[in-house]
Structures are given as C-alpha cells and as structure tokens.
Amino acid sequence: MATKQTIDLDSMTAEELRALITAAEAKFAEKREDALQALKTEMEERAKQLGLSVGDLFGYAPPESHDSARGGRKPRKDAGKTIEPKYRGPNGEEWTGRGRKPKWLMAAEADGKDPEQFRIAA
C-alpha cells in the first residue's frame, strides 16, 4: 500500500484546489463503482449457493420475464373479437365507441350535433 501524503490545502491556488476536487470526485466514482460491482458479484454468488436468483432475494422478476402470471398487464377478455358498431355517421361510417373519436363525429359535434343522434339502436 502506498504511503499517505498530507496535502497542504492552504498553500494551494483556487485552480489547484478545483483540479484536486475533480480528481478526488473521479477517484471516488471509480472506487464506488468497483465496490458496487463487488457487492453485486458477492450477492449473486451467495444467492446461487442458496439456489435463488437475486430477483428472488428482492422480490422482482427480470424485465424480460414480465407476463400476466407475474403481475403484468392482463389481456382483455374480448381481445381479438369483432365489436359491433355503436355509432353510424351520415355517410355510413361506423364507430364502435372505443378508441379515438372519428373525424366525422368530431366534425358533427363541432357543428352542434349530439353524438347520441348517431347511436345505432340496439
């Protein structure tokens, strides 16, 4: 191990102090990253010895394995099924009432028409 030097901060100029601070911050970041990597490796090894993954330790699943069985978004019950239209426009256009309003309906509303007048009777 290298011998420790004492640094006389009082004799340093502002530029020298700034350079020292920059060098110290860079060295700190490097040592912190090394310590973090060592900790990750140690935890992975310990988890492996116990037959676990790091995700098991902290209660999360790796991003590539997210699905509905692990709490991801569930698919809609009617996914892939054809939906009957609920609205019919003046030129025969149809809209199911889902998603973005069609331009013909937005134009009709801008003209002061009620969207309910375009509803298809069930």
Cα(84)–Cα(97) distance, integer angstroms: 9
In a domain, 67, yes or no: no
pTM of the complete model: 0.42
Secondary structure of residue 69 in the 3-state scheme: helix
Domain presence at residue 22 = yes
* Chain segment 104-118, per-residue pLDDT in tens: 999 999 999 999 999
120 and 88 together in one domain: yes
Same domain, 57 and 87: no
Mean pLDDT, the chain, whole residue set: 86
Q: Are residues 82 and 57 in the same domain?
A: no
Tell me if 104 is assigned to some domain: yes
Which residue is associated with the tokens 């935890």?
43
Tally of domains in the chain: 2
How far is Cα 34 from Cα 42, in angstroms, rounded to an integer?
A: 12
DSSP 24-55: HHHHHHHHHHHHHHHHHHHHHHHHHHTT--HH
